[in-house]
Structure 1
Amino acid sequence: MKKEFSGRVHFVGIGGIGMSALAQHLVHCGYAVSGSDRQVNEQTEKLQKIGVKVHYGHSEQNVKGACLVVRTSAVTPDNCEVAFAQKNNIPVLLREQLLGEIFDAFKQRIAVCGTHGKTTVTAMIHHVLERCGVSHTAFIGGEYNKSNYFFGENIVVAEACEYNRSFLNLHPTICLCLNVEYDHPDCYKNFADVQKAFSALFSQSEKVILPSELQKMCDKAVLFGKNGSVQAKNVHVGRGTTFSLYSDGVFACKCRLKVCGRHNVHNALAVFAVAKLLQLPLLQVSQALAIFCGVDRRWTLHPECKFNVVCDYAHHPTEIAEAVQTALSMCKGRVFCVFQPHTYSRTKAFWQQFVTCFDGAQEVIYLPIFAAREKPQKGVSSFRLAQLARQTGLNAKYFSTFGKTAQHLSKTVKANDTILLIGAGDVNNLTKFL
């Protein structure tokens, strides 16, 4: 880190995917680490195995003796541990501030930003660097090969999340932007506000990589996709995705992806653009991507279920539409969608789109909104969303529990049909009922 701390670092909300990765990094760097969270999960169990003291529940006692406290944006300043730290002059950092301290200490810094695809592409870059024998540290916003953190030297790769403009804590040598759309309505007034935040990140980055359709956002950007330095031609998307890679207008190699969907061709091109800047052999990169199996909850199959079940983290209308179309192109039978909206503010902002994005689905089941950090908003509910969907002709239903949802699906779904579980909350737990 740029700033050195002597003593124990305490994480409030240590079980989160981003927090647990930072905690692992500090352990690798020799720091004493503790943390607290409301309940046990896979991340807290993993941390305990490497010597992190994890407290379940929050108490002032947990913070005593710490030299630094780190909190997520989901943990408010009135949390008893945070309040105790501030009262006793113990420094308190947000998760993204600590990530910035760690990130900026590396010589080569790769940040992956964009409204969609950050976790998958961060994992792809890590996978490529690993297969090419390049030592690096990676912070991934999901589980890849059963981990969200990988320790190495020289290069750091991390997701740069736009929520609350947290990515402005990073100063990348390479900033890869995958796309820019309106999201996080609790932080941004409109699309122009989102664009302004991304432009600010580009301005504090040494090199910027953009899809060609965003070239107006940054004059100095290296482009990928149509008219870009790397392009995909002869694209075939299905159970196996193939395309021809062109670099600076010249055929480079044939590419095959295990991960499905047209969006992953876009993601792969972004990785090739990074690889070119790092001067990695494109054929070797292609060979690495050919065996990349994806990130947990990003089009994850669940063979343990008695039905054909796929879980996807999609929670924005664009992502959902892509997931549904991918399912329709790959699956033999009908597609049944189970959607758990994520946050009240997003549900309100995309009220109409959360109906129209399910085009082609046999049936859409709306589950209660996953509130995350938010309080309920009057008039915003999945029950009303399902009503609106039915008015437009969509075969839509609302169920209040996983049990009722599973009971309905077990009577409706047939052998070749696919159940697509969609959302960034805990909708993946529905697999236990299927």
Structure 2
Amino acid sequence: MKHYHLMGIGGISMSGLARILRKDGHIVSGCDSQLSDLTRALEREGIRVFQGHSPAHLEGVDVLVASTAIKDSEPELATAHTLGLPVWRRIQVVAEILRGGYSLGVTGSHGKTSTTSMLASIFIAAQTDPTVLLGAELGLIGGSAKVGQGPYRIAEVDESDPLFRFLELDVAVVTNLESDHVSPDGQARPNYHASFEALQDAVRSFAGRARHVVYNGEPGWRLLDGLTQGRPRSSFGLLQGDCHAARMALEPFGSHFELVWQGQTLGPVRLQVPGEHNIVNALAAAAAALVAGVPFEAIQQGLYQYTGASRRFEKVGELNGALIVDDYAHNATKLWALLRAAKNTGLRVRAVFQPHRYGRSEQEWPQYAQALEQADEALILDVYAAGETPLRLTSAQIAGRIVEHLRSSGRAAHYDSWDNILSYLRQTAAPGDLILTIGAGSVYRLGRLLAAHKEAV
């Protein structure tokens, strides 16, 4: 038994780690700059939480846990180094938890949360009582983490943390790979790899340490074939791979298809989440479950009972007959897939997009603009900085370029303030509209404010 102290314990991921460490019999405490409903819930479960950061919190602690975003110069962290106290980053705790059972981890540039959530739903349907770690809340498990009594441990693995390369898993899933979380100036940072080559090397290491690799075998992700060689492996893909779909049909808010595994049609699968990208996510989850020996009937049930994780095409409510949906899509590929699925609903798509991080937005704004061409109307907010400062372009310049591109393509597009966009949508929301709030920052609040309004005043 160890005493783990978690800095930033009020975060969605760290709070989940705290619960699982306590379930595994350890003493757990933590601190955060602000207390919240989440930290109060942890205290009710016997986890002591301090407000603020102080070296005094380290008394009796065996391991200090901090996210990669916390600098070594922070006094609590610096004192731990001075005392010779082990300092672990979040991913190292994830590794410790996964070592406690049969482990399945999902990484990639897109689809991590949805694929991991689907995988959790499958193992719950199989009555295995898994332990689960997610980067978002999932209604099925009542939060971002589930403390299970069974042997299976399932985790979403964030590829932005370079330390993910050292995880050792029974089944490693790689959904896809793009140059997201890659530094625009070649300098490695806590949430950026120095180069795309460095990110690829980390994925190669991640796959090379697994007992079995499940990877995306679609032609668009051909580089994964080279990165996953040398280990037992299985591929998945929409139309090809060891696990693929046949007789696929898209519906406005879901889909159905036949699941094919190693040349054999196992049976029908129905999803309650929209878009081809979610079929691919389901195939990845199904392949990993089949490798682990889960019966197909549990895969059918688990995929059907999955209705989405928090901020993944999440239906927030309505305003004047308009449907309000929130989604985390924060890079160009995610944005494209989301808007493609949204158009398939047959509703008028009104997209409120908040670019996320300056480094990413400066690189991807042309792709954002192309993806947003699928919307009937695009409303652009300022960049959500996430602690970054502009490198070359300001928020207004990034938004202005997106709007200029869209208007030149004949699309309705506007850059405006939060308050003005909120007021505009309250006045114009109407039946037949699908209002999408999109981004990894604070934009989710706007959708909830609209839904709370219910009727324009």
Contact 2:243–2:259 under 8 Å retained in 1: yes
* 1:203 aligns to 2:220 (yes or no): no
Describe how 1:18-417 pairs up with structure 2 within 5 A. 18-106=13-101, 108-145=102-139, 146-152=142-148, 153-186=150-183, 187-213=192-218, 214-219=224-229, 220=231, 221-225=233-237, 226-238=239-251, 239-303=253-317, 305-306=319-320, 307-332=322-347, 334-372=348-386, 374-392=387-405, 393=407, 394-401=411-418, 403-417=419-433
The residue aligned with 2:440 is 424
CA distance 1:189–1:396, change in 2 (3 Å): farther
SS at match of 1:330: coil
Structure-1 separation of matches of 2:240 and 2:368: 33
Count of aligned pairs: 425
SS at match of 2:78: helix
SS at match of 1:303: strand
Structure-2 separation of matches of 1:343 and 1:168: 24
SS at match of 1:180: coil
SS at match of 1:148: strand
Structure-1 separation of matches of 2:166 and 2:271: 33
Give the residue type in structure 1 aligned to 2:425.
L
Give the residue type in structure 1 aligned to 2:324.
V
Residue 296 of structure 1, CA deviation: 0.8
Contact 1:241–1:261 under 8 Å retained in 2: yes
Contact 1:137–1:151 under 8 Å retained in 2: yes
Contact 1:13–1:75 under 8 Å retained in 2: no
Give the residue type in structure 1 aligned to 2:325.
V
Residue 396 of structure 1, CA deviation: 2.5
Unaligned stretches of 5+ residues in structure 1: none
Give the residue type in structure 2 aligned to 1:35.
G
Contact 1:160–1:170 under 8 Å retained in 2: no
Contact 2:182–2:199 under 8 Å retained in 1: no
Residue 417 of structure 1, CA deviation: 0.8
Residue 189 of structure 1, CA deviation: 4.2
Contact 1:386–1:396 under 8 Å retained in 2: no
CA distance 1:204–1:378, change in 2 (3 Å): closer
Residue 305 of structure 1, CA deviation: 4.9
State, as a whole percentage, how many aligned pairs show the same letter. Answer: 31
Residue 202 of structure 1, CA deviation: 1.0
Residue 279 of structure 1, CA deviation: 1.9
Residue 84 of structure 1, CA deviation: 2.4
Structure-1 separation of matches of 2:312 and 2:171: 25
Structure-2 separation of matches of 1:230 and 1:202: 18
Structure-1 separation of matches of 2:166 and 2:227: 20
SS at match of 1:181: coil
Structure-1 separation of matches of 2:37 and 2:178: 32
Residue 407 of structure 1, CA deviation: 0.6
Unaligned stretches of 5+ residues in structure 2: 184-191, 219-223, 451-457
Structure-2 separation of matches of 1:357 and 1:431: 20
Contact 1:305–1:431 under 8 Å retained in 2: no
Contact 2:5–2:65 under 8 Å retained in 1: yes
Residue 408 of structure 1, CA deviation: 1.7
SS at match of 2:306: coil
The residue aligned with 1:14 is 9
CA deviations on 1:351-370 (whole Å, 9 max, x unpaired) are 31121111221222222222
Residue 378 of structure 1, CA deviation: 4.2
Residue 223 of structure 1, CA deviation: 1.1
Contact 1:347–1:380 under 8 Å retained in 2: no
Give the residue type in structure 1 aligned to 2:344.
S
Contact 1:122–1:159 under 8 Å retained in 2: yes
Contact 2:359–2:391 under 8 Å retained in 1: no
Structure-1 separation of matches of 2:277 and 2:51: 39
TM-score calculated relative to the size of structure 2: 0.88
Residue 11 of structure 1, CA deviation: 0.9
Structure-2 separation of matches of 1:22 and 1:142: 13
SS at match of 1:357: helix
CA distance 1:299–1:378, change in 2 (3 Å): same
Contact 1:338–1:364 under 8 Å retained in 2: yes
- For the aligned residues, what is the CA RMSD? 1.9
